[in-house]
């Protein structure tokens, strides 16, 4: 995909976000980012057992890069049915390359805002699962 195609894809995710809204039965809701740095999000995650993700969503406000990239991250995870381990293993640089480094420019923090919050949500989910099960970590 050329640069114009990558820009159109990012803008489309900004204008027509995938998985946007509160997930009422989420197991965890984790905030990320800050309004001063291009945006803030809350990632909602419902685990499906065996390290799977049953459902994801997000709310938030920010610039085109932060909101579009958050939508793209959740869409990637749900479309490819990535496990929690696979999400935690996602490389930030590879994700930026997927969006388009030439589109993101120097605003890499904005582009990885949603992915960072998603990884934090998975870690929180796992911590709470350990507490609920009574296991000591």
Domains of the chain: 3-127 (3.90.1010.10)
Other C-beta atoms lying within 10 Å of the C-beta of residue 79: 9
79 compared with 133, residue with greater pLDDT? 79
**Residue 31 CA from chain centroid, whole number:** 11
- N-to-C CA span, the chain: 45
Interatomic CA distance for residues 105 and 83, integer angstroms: 29
Interatomic CA distance for residues 130 and 126, integer angstroms: 6
Report pLDDT for 135: 61
Report pLDDT for 111: 94
Tokens linked to 31:
């905030």
Report pLDDT for 50: 87
Q: Given the structure tokens 């900004």, which residue do they identify?
A: 14
Using DSSP bridges, classify how beta strands 39-47 and 28-34 pair: parallel, antiparallel or unpaired: antiparallel
Report pLDDT for 43: 98
Other C-beta atoms lying within 10 Å of the C-beta of residue 38: 18
136 compared with 45, residue with greater pLDDT? 45
For 101, how many CA atoms within 13 A lie in the half-sphere containing its CB? 4
Report pLDDT for 134: 75
Give 39-86 pLDDT, tens digit per residue.
899 999 999 878 999 999 999 999 999 999 999 999 999 999 999 999
Report pLDDT for 53: 97
Interatomic CA distance for residues 71 and 68, integer angstroms: 5
């Amino acid at each position: 995909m050329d640069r114009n195609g990558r820009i159109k894809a990012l803008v489309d995710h900004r204008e027509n976000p995938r998985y946007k809204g509160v997930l009422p039965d989420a197991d965890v809701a984790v905030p990320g980012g800050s309004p001063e740095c291009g945006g803030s999000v809350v990632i909602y995650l419902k685990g499906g057992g065996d390290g799977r993700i049953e459902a994801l969503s997000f709310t938030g406000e920010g610039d085109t890069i932060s909101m579009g990239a958050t939508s793209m991250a959740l869409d990637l995870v749900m479309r490819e049915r990535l496990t929690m381990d696979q999400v935690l293993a996602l490389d930030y640089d590879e994700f930026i390359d997927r969006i388009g480094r030439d589109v993101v420019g120097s605003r890499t923090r904005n582009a990885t805002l949603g992915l960072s919050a998603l990884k934090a949500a998975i870690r929180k989910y796992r911590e709470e699962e350990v507490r609920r099960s009574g296991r000591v970590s």
